[in-house]
Structure 1
Amino acid sequence: MKNIAGKFVKVMEECSSIRKNGTNDFHHYKYATSADVLEKVNASLVKHKVASIVTPEIITTADVLNNKGNTEHLVTVKVTITLVDTESGESMVISGAGGGQDGGDKAVMKAQTAAIKYAYMLSLAISTNDDPEADSKTDENVCATELVKSAGASDTPSCSDCGAKLTTGVMNVSMNKYGRPLCMKCQKKVQVVA
């Protein structure tokens, strides 16, 4: 294992950081694309004469309803990646898991792509130069929930306009969008006025 481990360390060094070039317009965040990760990792593996063989395995499948009430397929895939040093014949195995959801036939491909991307990112300790746990929106939502509770409200948050009980998810969306807890009906009223 000495040869493959040495080459793996060189790949880790060359792939230590990936820029976030992808943008999710719907949820408004940047991410490292699978294409960017695979391009960088593949170039380094080839340079060091290490072949990669990916074996996917479907772990779970389910049909779920999306936010619009349409049925989509949700799939979880585990990939096992065997890395082979073409010079010494030594090999090592890394693995990853990923999920994909799609209304057509792309759920498995999305899950496989995520699983491969994260297998490499985690195994090679690839940084995107940020801290995914530093989520100020989540922190704001937690603080808002605590504020509603400490203001004498019950454990269940309620709409600031009509008093209807809110789920945590509805309250979090409302706090992000309107700065106060509103039920869906009152959110729609605010949207019409705005």
Structure 2
Amino acid sequence: MQKIASKLIQVMAECSQIPKNGVNDFHHYKYATSADVLEKVNSALVKHKLASVVMPEVLQASEVLNSKGNAEQRVTVRVAITLVDAESGESVLLVGLGSGQDVGDKAVMKAQTAAIKYAYLMSLAISTNDDPEADSRTDEGMSSALGQAKSGGGGGAGKAARCSDCDMPITPGVEKVSVNKFGRPLCMKCQKNQQGVA
């Protein structure tokens, strides 16, 4: 494993950072696109003579209702990515999980794309220059919601909105997005649990 490990260190150095060039217009956030991740990783793998073989496996598929009451498919996929050193024959296994939801036939492809992207991001320690847990807008909103809850201010009945799963206070913006997407108010953590995103 010494030869492939040495090459992976070089790949990690070349792929240490990928900018967030994608924009989600609906939820107003930026993200590293799958295309950007794959292009950078593939270039480094080829340069160091490392082949990649991806084997996807559907772990779960179910029908869910979207915020408009329409049926969609939600799929969770596990991908096993084997990296093989063309010179030494040594190999290493990377694993990723991803979920996708779609009204048509693209749920599996969305799940595979997420699983491959995050397998590389996590396994190769690739930074996208942020910390998803350090969302100042969410933190500020949560702080405001907590303050309103303590002071009796906030939404319609004089109280801040609360997550229907864990009963934590949530901001009006988080409540609106959650109700549109899941049909009920959920905090960010419970929304992530509902999506099952890796």
Q: CA deviation at 1:74?
A: 0.7
**Do the aligned partners of residues 70 and 146 (structure 1) sit closer, same or farther apart at CA in structure 2, a change above 3 Å counting?**
same
Q: Deviations over 1:70-119 (max 9, x none)?
A: 11111111100000000110001010101101000000000000000000
Q: CA deviation at 1:171?
A: 5.4
Gaps in structure 1 of 5+ consecutive residues = 178-194
Aligned to 1:159: 156
Is the alpha carbon distance of 1:174 and 1:29 closer, same or farther for their aligned partners in structure 2, counting shifts above 3 Å? closer
| Aligned counterparts of 2:85 and 2:174: Cα–Cα separation in 1 | 53
Asked if 2 retains the 8 angstrom alpha-carbon contact of 1:79 and 1:115, the reply is yes
Aligned length: 172
- Matched residue, 1:88: 88
Equivalences for residues 1-194 of structure 1 within 5 A:
1-152=1-152, 158-159=155-156, 166-168=161-163, 172-174=171-173
Structure 2 distance, partners of 1:175, 1:50, is 43
Identity rate, percent: 61
Return the alpha-carbon distance in structure 1 between the equivalents of residues 86 and 110 of structure 2: 30
User: Residues of 2 paired with 1:165 and 1:29: CA distance?
Assistant: 24
2: CA distance between counterparts of 1:17 and 1:165? 39
Q: TM-score, normalised by structure 2?
A: 0.79
Distance 2:49 2:88 in 1: 10
- Label 1:137 to 1:176 Cα distance change in 2 as closer, same or farther (>3 A): farther
Q: Could you tell me how far 1:38 is from its partner in structure 2?
A: 0.1
Residue of structure 2 equivalent to 1:180: none
Which 5+ residue runs of structure 2 have no aligned equivalent? Answer: 177-198
1:188 alignment counterpart: none
1:106 and 1:173 map into 2 onto residues whose CA distance is 31
Q: Give the conservation status (yes or no) of the 8 Å contact 2:145–2:160.
A: no
Instruction: Label 1:176 to 1:144 Cα distance change in 2 as closer, same or farther (>3 A).
Output: farther
Answer yes or no: is the 8 Å Cα contact 1:144–1:175 preserved in 2.
Answer: no
SS of structure 2 residue aligned to 1:69: coil
Contact (CA 8 Å) 2:149, 2:159: kept in 1 or not? no
3-state secondary structure, aligned to 1:8 = helix
8 Å CA contact 1:137–1:176 kept in 2: the answer is: no
Give the root-mean-square deviation of aligned CA atoms: 2.3
After TM superposition, give the deviation of residue 130 of structure 1 in Å.
Answer: 1.6
The worse-fitting range, judged by mean Cα deviation, of 19-28 and 143-152 is 143-152
Runs of 4 or more consecutive aligned structure 1 residues displaced over 4 Å after TM superposition: 163-167, 174-177
CA distance in 2, matches of 1:109, 1:130: 26
How far, CA to CA, are the matches of 2:159 and 2:27 in structure 1?
Answer: 27
Please state how far the C-alpha of 1:131 moved relative to its aligned partner: 1.9
Larger relative contact order (CA 8 Å, sep ≥ 6): 2
